[in-house]
Amino acid sequence: MSWLTDVHIHLSDNEFASDTHHILVAMDKMKIRACCVSVDYTSSMSTLELSKKSPLVLPFVGLHPEKANDDLEPMTKFIENNAKRISGIGEIGLDRTYVSDNICFNRQLFVFDKMLSQAEKLDKPVSIHSRKTLDEIFHILTSYSLKGVLFHWFAGNKKQLNKAMDLGCFVSYGPAMIYSHDKQVLLSQTDLSKILLETDGPVRFSKCFGLKTTQITFLPSVLFSVSNVLHKPYDEMLAITEANSNSYLGV
């Protein structure tokens, strides 16, 4: 049986703390593995601890752009010291909505470059936050040779999607794709070999999800919608996304 992979979820978030055991059981029963991303040093430690409870939790560690002003040295040392245990670097990236001037944005750039350098050195895939900064990130990526690059929650336009495909990057689609026509259009124009799935839990989605806390168990619904949009049988799309996930992770 093929496995589903949630390539971007914050399973170590406190929102999930009381349900961790049930989530891990559900993942095993439903054949779902998860790239558990982090946002700072503390969540990175929690993510690594969570991965000890189940081999289905693939730990990603790093500094989110919102946390760019955090002390960088403990994070870089943590990554170096746990290189053999981590599956990837993320959630990292750029986001101008978190800064008020170029000085603060330059700090984001500095941290992002450091995270990418470590990913390149350790041969780890990266999960990138790119809200309104796609073009800048495209330019930066050309300076690195990275194992696997994911633009999580891809929100670019068609031209930017084509650029991502030209660079060999993966893009992921989540629960919003179920009801968003814009997301469905982007999905239909994405290279089949570069499509990945995510939930980004515990983010809350509107429409059919009623602003409920996103659970990893939403993932089959995302895959079902992807299958419908692309006019492919569910099982075929499951096999495709499994192969894509393995390619992204390098396994």
Residue 164: strand, helix, or coil: helix
Question: d(Cα 224, Cα 228) in Å, to the nearest integer?
Answer: 6
Confidence at residue 7, expressed as pLDDT on a 0 to 100 scale: 98
The number of residues in the chain equals 251
**pLDDT for residue 209:** 84
Looking at the chain, the whole-number percentage of residues with pLDDT higher than 70 is 100
Tokens of 126: 């990266």
pLDDT score, position 212: 85
pLDDT at 208: 79
Q: What are phi and psi of 129, to 5 degrees?
A: -90, 125
Report pLDDT for 166: 97
What pLDDT is attached to residue 210? 84
What is the CATH number that goes with domain 4-249?
3.20.20.140
SS3 99: coil
pTM, to two decimals: 0.96
Round the average pLDDT of the chain to a whole number and report it. 96
Q: What is the pLDDT of residue 207?
A: 83
Q: What is the pLDDT of residue 91?
A: 98
Give the integer Cα–Cα distance in Å for 173 and 105.
27
Q: What are the average pLDDT values for consecutive 10-residue runs of the chain, which has 251 residues?
A: 94 95 97 98 98 98 97 98 98 95 96 98 98 96 96 95 98 94 96 98 87 92 97 98 98 91
CA distance 201 to 6: 10
